[in-house]
Amino acid sequence: MAARRRAIDLVLPHLRVLDGYEAVDPPEVLAERAGIPVSEIVKLDANENPYGPSRRVAEALASLGDVHLYPDPAQAAMRAAIGRYVGLAPEHVVVGNGSDEIIDLLFRAVLAPGDAVVNSVPTFGMYEFTAQVCGARIVEVARDRAFAVDIDGVLAAASEQHAKIIAIASPNNPSGNPTSLADVERLLGSDCLVIVDEAYAEFGGSSAAALVPERPSLVVLRSMSKWAGLAGLRVGYGLMDAELAEVLMRAKPPYNVNQAAEAALLASLADADALQKRVRQIVAERARMHGLLDAIPGVTPLPSEANFILCRLPEGRGKDVHERLAGRGVFVRYYARGVLADYLRISVGMPADTDRLIAALAEALSEH
């Protein structure tokens, strides 16, 4: 008997019209677009770690044993190792398939369709995307001209809209500036779950992680993608109230972090000192890149505590400079919409990448 209804007819209306997350393309696709070999492209568009993972990750992956068995759904070894790394009890830790998955789990745990999330824009796109997937409302509160969070505006919007979640990236992607602990404390005075997304914390100076045990409405997100160079293996974590963590542990897909990601996380944390050394190299290169960008007439790099720099270009040049850079095999991030139309976000790569970028940028700007 022929089915009367197609599966697509059963899909929730708000998902049928979902735009989808605008993710970055892999190197092969970029190289083909630029018409040059992959080895010649400069990929500074996704805040990836140019040094790659710890040497110990390759060893751990090569000696992975029982991959015919499921990974530990209780994440015992990872939660203990992360707890030691951040200085919290393992009960506060939940590990995800990237910190993206922790955002997904939190939003699904808290939001019913129609509930509000306050988003301090411009910021990382995942909060808006995940709210849309949940059928929730996004309430945007603009950051100020220096991209600092408008704390009064966020608190007012949260209260007026009876919001359930406030999401703050600190340091913010794409602007690179952190939100102070004093401002985080003020946000914790709201009735919302306050997510402080610290995906780039290792490149900056401060963290709200130590507040977690005494602040049950706070969740701090961390990622292994950036400082530890594990973006391709997908592993990140949330630090939160133990009762909330317990709920997420029960509500998550049971085997959400695969054995390769687990082994890579454990090997990375065991080699944290070597990884921190590379973080310091990236931070030094960030300072050098900032100086070189600043020396190009018409380019204004913002201060950054992350592994990227947001740069303002002469008015109206964002899109065409982005394209001209891509034509030269240099890929950076451009946001076509709104207040970022004149900006490029440039990840910090190797010194040679910076040199290629600076030469290409100076050329691109001189053409019109």
Residues of the shown chain interacting with ligand PLP in the complex, contacts defined by CB under 6 A: 47, 98-100, 124, 169, 173, 197, 199, 223, 225, 231, 236
Sequence-separated (6 or more) residues with CB below 8 Å from residue 89: 83, 213, 242
DSSP-H helix ranges across the chain: 7-10, 13-16, 27-34, 55-62, 76-86, 99-110, 126-133, 151-160, 181-187, 242-251, 259-270, 272-294, 318-327, 351-366
CB of 81 to ligand PLP, least distance (A): 16
> Beta strands 218-223 and 193-197: pairing type?
parallel
Q: Which two tokens stand for residue 91?
A: 């009960």
Q: Is 304 exposed, middle or buried (0-12, 13-18, 19+ CB in 10 A)?
A: buried
Question: Which CB sits closer to ligand PLP, 167 or 289?
Answer: 167
Question: Which CB sits closer to ligand PLP, 307 or 354?
Answer: 307
CB of 353 to ligand PLP, least distance (A): 18
CB of 167 to ligand PLP, least distance (A): 9
Q: Which two tokens stand for residue 155?
A: 């608190």
Question: Which CB sits closer to ligand PLP, 46 or 245?
Answer: 46
CB of 23 to ligand PLP, least distance (A): 10
Closest-CB residue for ligand PLP?
98
CB of 333 to ligand PLP, least distance (A): 10
Question: Which CB sits closer to ligand PLP, 199 or 248?
Answer: 199
Q: In Å, how far from its chain's centre is CA 76? A: 25
- Residue found by looking up tokens 């993608």 in the block: 225
Question: Which CB sits closer to ligand PLP, 221 or 358?
Answer: 221
Question: Which CB sits closer to ligand PLP, 125 or 327?
Answer: 125
Q: Report whether 226 contacts 199 (CB < 8 A).
A: yes
CB of 281 to ligand PLP, least distance (A): 20
